[in-house]
Amino acid sequence: MSDTMQVSGTLQPRSPHQLHLGGDRAATPRSRRSIQVTREFVHRPLADDILVTSWRRLDDVHFSLTAQWPHDHGYFTPNRGRHHLILTGETIRQAGLLLCHTELGVPLGHHFILGDLVYTTHPEHLAVGSGPTPLTIDVVCSRMRRRSGMMTSGHFDMTIRKAGRIVATGHSDVTVTSPAVYRRIRGKRLTARRTFDPLPAPVPPRLTGSAKDSDVLLSPTGRPDRWLLRIAPGHPAVVNPANDHIPGMVLLDAAQQAARVLTSPDAFVPYAFGTVFRRYAEHGTPCVIEAHRVPSALPCTTTVQVTGLQDGDPVFVSTLTALDPRD
């Protein structure tokens, strides 16, 4: 994954009960079900990690997509019988990339800055079944800018449904850069790749919600609210070996793991997630992960803010909100 997520502004998640249905759109659809969604369209190194399965244009700014969440994903394992929170973020990411490449004129090989990646899920509709979960995604594009027929930036609002019921809503902003511009931005960092030095000890997997030690992205530092980022070899679900920086999805996962550790032994199952990316997370530089509770905007919820730092400067800030456990 060569795209980078950068978010700005204050992120205030909505209650899952504030979600609403959008109106029907009258349009003449153009089906794309006969064209395969390939790894290149969604920037995933493994075909098994492709979540979006088809798309069709309704008009110039409205699209309808289908997706599928696996019930037995090798990395994003269910938590308390519900689909992993980050599957929603990855679905929004893939849907935006797919439309950029297939409908909005962005050539393969261009790079993306994804902004304002914010989403709110409907927990009662996230139950994992005995097989894959089929989904539909309604996408509305706005604030579109184009150059020579190619989208250079735009905003995507998405509503994800299962059997007609809302599973999640979210949005992201996308800016596109050509390979030449990306080379200028990255400079000498363009050839950086992850090294495989000995890993520090992991936080116990039961605290992070991970299946095994190699899935844990946090190493203890001696403080209950601070950890070092650790990435075990062989995680193609979140790490593309071709990346010249640490992928955004790794940082999102580290944030939700940190929130779970901070709030343990309470069960922290977030339904809303928003992230601000300040700059690239670089290979070869220790990344410190800090977490603390912050006041929640909604009653009966707990909110945790997680910050990643390199050389003392913030790389990202994530805000996660969970419903308080019922008595």
- Quote the pLDDT of residue 235: 59
- Quote the pLDDT of residue 97: 95
What's the chain's average pLDDT? 85
Q: Quick one: pLDDT band at residue 239, thresholds 50, 70, 90?
A: low
Counting residues of the chain whose pLDDT is more than 90, the rounded percentage is 56
- Quote the pLDDT of residue 15: 40
Around Cβ 62, how many Cβ atoms within 10 Å? 17
- Bridge partners (DSSP) of residue 280 are none
Residue 217 has pLDDT above 50, yes or no: yes
- Quote the pLDDT of residue 237: 58
- Bridge partners (DSSP) of residue 156 are 141, 172
Residues 141, 68: Cα–Cα separation, whole Å = 22
- Quote the pLDDT of residue 28: 45
Residues 25, 173: Cα–Cα separation, whole Å = 22
- Quote the pLDDT of residue 243: 83
Q: Can you point out the beta strands (E) in the chain?
A: 4-5, 30-31, 52-57, 62-69, 111-121, 133-147, 150-162, 165-177, 218-220, 226-229, 270-277, 288-294, 301-310, 313-323
Closest CA to 193 of 231, 237, 219, 229: 231
- Domain spanning 192-323: CATH 3.40.50.10320: no
- Quote the pLDDT of residue 234: 61
Q: Which helix (H) or strand (E) holds 208?
A: helix 205-208
Which of 179-188, 190-199, 302-311 bottoms out in mean pLDDT, i.e. has the lowest?
Answer: 190-199
Q: Quick one: pLDDT band at residue 236, thresholds 50, 70, 90?
A: low
Residue type, 19: L
| Terminal C-alpha separation, the chain | 42
Region 296-318: what's the mean pLDDT?
94
Region 157-163: what's the mean pLDDT?
97
Q: pLDDT digits over 20-57, tens only? A: 333 344 444 455 554 689 999 998 888 888 999 999 99
Which of 7-16, 168-177, 225-234, 295-304 bottoms out in mean pLDDT, i.e. has the lowest?
Answer: 7-16
Strands 4-5, 111-121: pairing is parallel
Radius of gyration over every alpha carbon of the chain, rounded to an integer in angstroms: 19
- Quote the pLDDT of residue 134: 96
CATH class held by domain 4-185: alpha beta
**Domains of the chain: which residue ranges?**
4-185, 192-323
Residue with tokens 């390979």: 179
Q: pLDDT digits over 54-95, tens only? A: 999 999 999 999 999 998 877 777 777 889 888 999 999 999
Q: Residue 68 in contact with residue 53, Cβ under 8 Å?
A: yes
Q: Quick one: pLDDT band at residue 188, thresholds 50, 70, 90?
A: confident
Q: pLDDT digits over 111-158, tens only? A: 988 777 899 999 889 889 889 999 999 999 999 999 988 999 999 999
Q: pLDDT digits over 251-303, tens only? A: 999 999 999 999 999 989 899 999 988 888 898 899 999 999 999 988 999 99
Fold agreement between 4-185 and 192-323: yes
- Quote the pLDDT of residue 231: 87
Residue 162 has pLDDT above 80, yes or no: yes
Q: Of all residues in the chain, what percent are helix, strand and coil, respectively (each to 5)? A: 20, 35, 45
